[in-house]
Chain A
């Protein structure tokens, strides 16, 4: 934020052209392409979604009958809605926690450079490039009930994706895998931002690796940790 203040101050002298109409509307003209897309495909549909939620619609999505909050009360009264809310919370908790752990471990293990660290980092960031559609196909094979990798390795016959007790776990595992790349990138960035002096003075005071981890590293990068965990909701 302080950066923004300094822009405003420094661009002050350019305002000498204030009188000319074009100069005054140019900033808005430059924003126009981006804002027209946002308006048509983000602001408008978002508001329309809210508006339609108070109406009954025909099958083309046109508002027909004003329905007040009855769509909402119907939703709140339905047990399947609450069931899906509860599953969503479990899913978010498992995925947020799991991918934070994976992100922390992978970025701590590659925090400094050593022979091979480039290749190791690349493979940790790699899931960023993989589509969820492709990953879910690949994991369908890993979880395959008869010929899948997990059942071959464990000698089991578990229906990982079809049985109620395993499905949430399996879907969370795929999501954690997909998220691990971007979490690795964000947390590594956070780790680079922690000042070396803190670690040096802690070492002088005789702090061990885990003491430093819990007293310096984690508190310093907690804002970065928050972002990937929030991001799960989308």
Chain B
């Protein structure tokens, strides 16, 4: 009898919790739902201050892709090229460095690791002008390499993977060492396959961050051929500040890829970031 009332109490508690969450959830989701609603609204309704469209129209989406002054599909392609390259590059450089920091022993290891961590404390604004000067000097403005190369490694990635590698059983390394397995082979055939979740989390995190970059791409590109999506949607505002529906359609198009990555990788992403937060 007592158990029954306990489970009833728990059920009531759960319902109360869900109801307490609803207003906050609504608050967090409203900006996006409103954006979506504006983007599919017939234009006349926007100016009548309608919140929910009476009929759905995808005109704004079609216009975003077919406007001659504006090569949206090219921006999307550029963003994909840059984000995927940066993602793969960081997965590689960060795993090599993290492997060295966690499995190997060498002089200056702690100082070098501190140097890596110290890069987290340098705000982007402190380097962006000097970096821009270097990029211009090399003639790299308006190129993929200007968007990709500066981001090919990150302290966050090295730190995240090192945390993961430190949890590896040491016997594994010892056994393979005895069998004459070199470091690189150990990394390739044992560490990589065993750290797929951590690498996946890092990859998703890096992709999101690169996809969402704004300041650097704005600075180093001024031609359609290399412009990325985040700069592209801000230009929608400059082209026609009155075309609110078109702008909102642009926002929705740009967040669809990052939001899908978030939805598919959510569990790994959150667990990966949490591991970095707690063990730090």
Contact = CB atoms under 8 A, between A and B. Distances in A.
Interface of A: 3-4, 7-8, 10-15, 24, 26-28, 30-31, 33-35, 37-38, 40-46, 48-49, 52, 60-61, 105-106, 109-110, 114-117, 120, 122-135, 137-142, 144, 147, 149, 152, 177, 180, 182, 185-186, 188-190, 192-193, 224, 227, 233-234
B258 A149 contact: no
Contact of A129 (B49, B131, B152, B258): B258
Contacts of B208: 128-129
A42 to B, nearest CB: 5
A42 B158 CA distance: 15
Could you say which of A34, A128, A138 has the most chain B C-beta atoms within 10 Å of its C-beta?
A: A34
B31 A138 contact: yes
B62 to A, nearest CB: 19
B123 interface: yes
B270 A135 contact: no
B97 interface: yes
25 contacts: A11-B104, A15-B105, A30-B100, A31-B96, A33-B96, A33-B153, A38-B115, A38-B119, A41-B131, A48-B133, A49-B126, A114-B14, A115-B14, A122-B263, A123-B29, A124-B24, A130-B212, A130-B258, A131-B214, A137-B234, A137-B236, A144-B244, A180-B28, A185-B274, A190-B277
Given A11-B103, A37-B93, A234 B173 contact: no
Classify the interface of chain A: helix, strand, loop or mixed: helix
B251 A137 contact: yes
B32 A138 contact: yes
A42 B49 contact: no
B254 A134 contact: yes
A75 to B, nearest CB: 15
Interface of B: 13-14, 17-18, 20-21, 24-25, 28-32, 34-35, 38, 46-47, 49, 51, 92-94, 96-97, 99-106, 109-110, 112, 115-116, 119, 122-124, 126-131, 133-134, 136, 149-150, 152-153, 158, 166, 170, 173-174, 177, 183, 208, 211-214, 230-231, 233-234, 236-237, 244, 247-248, 250-251, 254-255, 258-259, 261-263, 266, 269-270, 273-274, 277-278, 280
The 10 closest A-B pairs by CB, nearest first: A131-B212, A45-B130, A129-B262, A189-B274, A27-B106, A133-B230, A30-B100, A45-B127, A34-B97, A114-B14
A3 B177 CA distance: 21
A133 B100 CA distance: 37
A229 to B, nearest CB: 14
Given A27-B104, A33-B92, A138-B35, 6 more contacts: A11-B170, A27-B100, A33-B97, A41-B131, A137-B251, A189-B278
Contacts of B100: 26-28, 30-31
Contacts of A4: 110, 166
Contacts of B270: 125, 185
Contacts of B31: 135, 138-139, 142, 177
Contacts of A24: 106
Could you say which of A40, A41, A144, A193 has the most chain B C-beta atoms within 10 Å of its C-beta?
A: A41
B214 A132 contact: yes
Could you say which of B21, B97, B254, B274 has the most chain A C-beta atoms within 10 Å of its C-beta?
A: B21
Contacts of B32: 130, 138
Nearest to B113: A4
A114 B214 CA distance: 38
A15 B136 CA distance: 45
A130 to B, nearest CB: 6
A137 B237 contact: yes
A126 B20 CA distance: 19
Contacts of A188: 274
Contact of A131 (B18, B47, B255, B261): B255
Nearest to A15: B105
A119 B103 CA distance: 39
B248 A42 contact: no
Given A13-B174, A37-B153, A41-B149, A129 B214 contact: no
Nearest to B258: A129
Contacts of A105: 24
B105 A11 contact: yes
B128 to A, nearest CB: 8
